[in-house]
Structure 1
Amino acid sequence: MFLDSELNEIRAAKARLVARCDLRRQLVLLETHTAWAGFRRKLSLASLGLGLGIQVSELALGYLNRRRSKNS
Structure 2
Amino acid sequence: MLLPAAVLAECGITDEIDLRLEGTRIIIEPAKPSRQGWFDGYRAEDDVDAWQGLPPEADSGDWAW
- Structure with bigger helix share is 1
Query: Is the TM-score greater than 0.5?
Result: no
Higher strand share: 2
Q: TM-score w.r.t. structure 2 length? A: 0.29
TM-score of the aligned structures, taking structure 1 as reference length: 0.27
